[in-house]
């Protein structure tokens, strides 16, 4: 176990750290902006005024993505469900709405380039992961992205040696369900109370708090817009502000 200092906060007896991916390890805003805009254009081809209606649902304004918006923090299924719900409220039958949205999302996936090369590893993160590994800290990757994308990201940037567990939103549970963190800790064979969650979204922070985690560290470095994480134990602005101390 190690002690980890973040600013003026020190977390003691830490044996594991769980990282979010998009906005935490990966600079994903440009890719997510492309993805959101493409989904909107494809929806617009079937649903007039889709951009005006759904841009707020996704959390898109121009080329910026709201760090707290559904596109940034929600799973693929959560994004689909939100649009389908809006269409049902407008009078469309559920089956038709679901078919339209799923078709647009699938076409967007097919038209965009492979995600991993478009979401670069944030500077300082590799060194941070190396420091944790060197001190025997176990590391998990816990994301709202699908598991295949997580493995591709880890392989593309050579992170597999650092990661003992990789959990995506398609494995049954999603943030902020505390059971997701508890089960991930079980897979790492560590106690949740000796585990830190590091992420850029309120869903990360709420999950950690509800699970009884050893602490939650909010990060601000992944987005153009400022983030607001009032429930985080501490906010850091660069990966190397997270220090292992004696």
User: What dihedral do alpha carbons 64, 69, 72, 78 form, nearest 10°?
Assistant: -140
- Residue 133's pLDDT is what? 97
Q: Kindly give the confidence (pLDDT) of every residue in the chain, 246 residues in length, as a single tens digit, with 9 standing for 90 and above.
A: 999 999 889 999 999 999 999 999 999 999 999 999 999 999 988 888 888 888 888 898 877 899 989 999 999 999 999 999 989 988 999 999 999 999 999 999 999 999 999 999 999 999 999 999 999 999 999 999 999 999 999 999 999 999 999 999 998 899 999 999 999 999 999 999 999 999 999 999 999 999 999 999 999 999 988 888 999 999 999 999 999 997
- Residue 54's pLDDT is what? 86
Burial class, 93, CB count within 10 angstroms (exposed 0-12 / middle 13-18 / buried 19+)? exposed
- Residue 12's pLDDT is what? 96
- Residue 45's pLDDT is what? 86
In 3D space, the residue among 33, 45, 201, 41 whose CA is nearest the CA of residue 119 turns out to be: 33
Rounded to a whole number of angstroms, the distance between the first and last alpha carbons of the chain is 10
Name residue, tokens 């660069």: 238
- Residue 199's pLDDT is what? 97
- Reduced to 3 states (helix: H, G, I; strand: E, B; else coil), residue 242 is strand
* Structure-block tokens of residue 181: 């963190």
Burial class, 138, CB count within 10 angstroms (exposed 0-12 / middle 13-18 / buried 19+)? buried
Question: How is the chain split among helix, strand and coil, in percent rounded to 5?
Answer: 45, 20, 35
- Residue 51's pLDDT is what? 83
Residue 10, strand partner residues: 5
Q: How far is CA 157 from CA 4, 17, 22, 202, in A?
A: 25, 19, 14, 26
Dist. CA 148–CA 155, nearest whole Å: 11
Q: How far is CA 72 from CA 122, 129, 180, in A?
A: 16, 23, 19
Length of the chain: 246
């Amino acid at each position: 176990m190690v002690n980890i200092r973040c600013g003026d906060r020190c977390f003691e007896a830490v044996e594991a750290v769980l990282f979010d991916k998009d906005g935490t390890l990966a600079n994903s805003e440009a890719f997510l902006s492309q993805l959101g805009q493409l989904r909107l254009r494809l929806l617009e081809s079937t649903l007039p005024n889709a951009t005006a209606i759904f841009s707020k649902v996704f959390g898109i304004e121009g080329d910026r993505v709201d760090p707290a918006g559904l596109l940034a923090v929600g799973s693929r299924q959560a994004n689909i469900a939100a649009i389908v719900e809006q269409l049902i409220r407008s009078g469309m039958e559920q089956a038709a709405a679901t078919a339209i949205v799923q078709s647009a999302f699938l076409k967007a996936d097919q038209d965009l380039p492979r995600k991993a090369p478009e979401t670069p590893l944030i500077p300082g993160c590799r060194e941070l992961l190396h420091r944790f590994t060197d001190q025997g800290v176990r590391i998990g990757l816990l994301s709202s992205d699908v598991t295949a994308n997580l493995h591709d990201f880890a392989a593309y940037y050579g992170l597999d040696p650092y990661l003992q567990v990789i959990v995506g939103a398609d494995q049954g549970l999603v943030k902020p369900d505390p059971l997701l963190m508890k089960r991930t800790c079980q897979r790492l064979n560590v106690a949740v109370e000796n585990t830190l969650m590091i992420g850029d979204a309120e869903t990360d922070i709420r999950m950690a708090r509800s699970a009884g985690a050893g602490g939650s560290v909010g990060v601000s470095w992944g987005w153009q817009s400022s983030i607001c994480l009032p429930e985080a134990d501490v906010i850091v602005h660069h990966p190397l502000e997270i220090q292992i101390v004696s």
